[in-house]
Amino acid sequence: MEQTSRPRRPTLADLAKHAQVSVGQASASINGAPGPSEKTRKKVLKAAEEIGYRPNKLASLLARSATQRVGVAFSLGRSFHTELVEQIYEVAQPLGYEVVLSAVVPQNPVRRSIESLVDARCDGLIIIAAGTVEPDSSEVLRGMPVVHVGSSPSIGRVDVIRTAGDDGLQKAVEHLVQLGHNRIAYFDGGAASGAQERLKGYSEGMRQHRLARHRRVITAGQTYDAGYEAASWLLRHRLPTAVACYNDEVALGLIDHLRTAGISVPEDISVVGFDNGHESRMPSVRLTTIAQNIPQIAQLSFNRIVTELADPYERPQEFVLPPQLVVRGTTTAPSQQPSLV
């Protein structure tokens, strides 16, 4: 009877034997490392082709000191996250770094997600914050380079890279005020990452423009549904002339609910989002929003990892990137005469 256990994959030893060289030469040839002569290399590569050799990454990583891997923890559904992940591939791959993903889902909460990345022996971690961070996972990190993206102000021993949420919301308010708005409400992100700061920016902006008495904060959340839901509160009261939102998703939910209720955006009410994610570009919406520079964040995150890898003395830093107002179609001058301040 034929023994049909699954075929064993050829090892480096098999390859070496087949090519009639030592394992050392075989290894170096495969990795393009200096050493082997051109003749040897050719021979090895040919043999590899013939027997279908593929290096065992596990063994390779185990034997190596640095793994050239960067781990990324992110949320599957949030477009800011997935767009950032895509950009990270864009900067990491060309430099020979592999990106290892771990999705934050109910069955795989942040804590566990980070652990799995550490266990996978990543050289560094990029954690795209969903909600607030538990700083207690720091023991597990053992001083490996970690950058936290979009987190609230510094959480200690790791890098933080974020877009200035306060600045962003002040810009949003400023924009609306210049258009002639004064009853400007805010859809807050609740416990979401960076929510406090954005809220602060809104409040500050309102104060600066002597609009404090028009300040209205509605707690929404960070999803489309949250925005849609929170909009019903708005509809039960006197409408503001404009609403700034924690992020694009919330803004979209709000807009959809308003339009469903027969209220025009931006004619009846202006709306501003935050993130400049791809959905803000939807032709039916063309959301005015506060842009985060995702490619820049990806680049900076990766650079920080590499820098800290190269220099163990490098201290964790906090980077606050400037947001940028992107005016599209959901903001315009208020139709009704604004009440006097």
Residues lying near DNA in the complex (CB under 7 A): 8-9, 11-13, 15, 20-25, 27-28, 30-31, 33, 35-37, 39-40, 53-56, 59-60, 62-65
Least distance in Å: CB of 140 to DNA?
13
Per the CB < 8 A criterion, the answer to whether 317 and 304 are in contact is yes
Residue 187 binding target from DNA, its own copies, none, CB below 5 to 8 Å by type: none
The CA–CA distances, whole Å, from 115 to 52, 74, 105, 258, 289 equal 34, 13, 14, 42, 35
Least distance in Å: CB of 61 to DNA?
8
Total of residues contacting its own copies (CB under 8 A): 58
Name the strands in the sheet holding 184-188, side by side, starting at the edge strand that comes first in the sequence.
216-219, 184-188, 242-245, 270-275, 288-291, 324-326
Residue 140 binding target from DNA, its own copies, none, CB below 5 to 8 Å by type: its own copies
Q: Should residue 96 be labelled a site residue for its own copies when binding is judged by CB under 8 A?
A: no
Query: Binding residue for its own copies (CB under 8 A) from 17, 111, 200, 259?
Result: 259
**Rounded distance, CA 249 to CA 256, Å?**
11
In the chain, the amino acid numbered 204 is: E
Query: Binding residue for its own copies (CB under 8 A) from 96, 139, 315, 341?
Result: 139
The CA–CA distances, whole Å, from 22 to 10, 34, 53, 300, 307 equal 15, 15, 15, 42, 36
CB nearer to its own copies: pick between 52 and 156? 52
Query: Binding residue for its own copies (CB under 8 A) from 24, 35, 50, 54?
Result: 54
Least distance in Å: CB of 57 to DNA?
8
CB nearer to DNA: pick between 20 and 208? 20
Go through the chain and tell me how many residues it has. 341
CB nearer to its own copies: pick between 107 and 339? 107
C-alpha dihedral, 304 to 279 to 325 to 231, nearest 10°: -120
**Rounded distance, CA 32 to CA 19, Å?**
16
DSSP codes, 261-323: TT--TTTT-EEEEEE--GGGG-TTT--EEEEP-HHHHHHHHHHHHHHHHH-TTPPP-EEEEPP
Neighbours of 297 (CB within 10 A): 25
Per the CB < 8 A criterion, the answer to whether 126 and 113 are in contact is no
CB nearer to DNA: pick between 15 and 129? 15
Token pair listed for 266: 């931006």
Least distance in Å: CB of 153 to its own copies?
26
Q: 199-238 mask for its own copies (x: CB under 8 A)?
A: -------------------------xx--x----------
CB nearer to DNA: pick between 52 and 135? 52
Least distance in Å: CB of 39 to its own copies?
27
DSSP letter (8 states) at residue 158? S
Residues forming contacts to its own copies in the complex (CB under 8 A) are 4-7, 9, 52, 54-59, 61-62, 76-77, 79, 82, 85-86, 89-90, 93-94, 98-99, 101-103, 105-108, 115-116, 118-121, 139-140, 142-144, 224-225, 228, 256-257, 259-260, 278, 282-285, 312-313
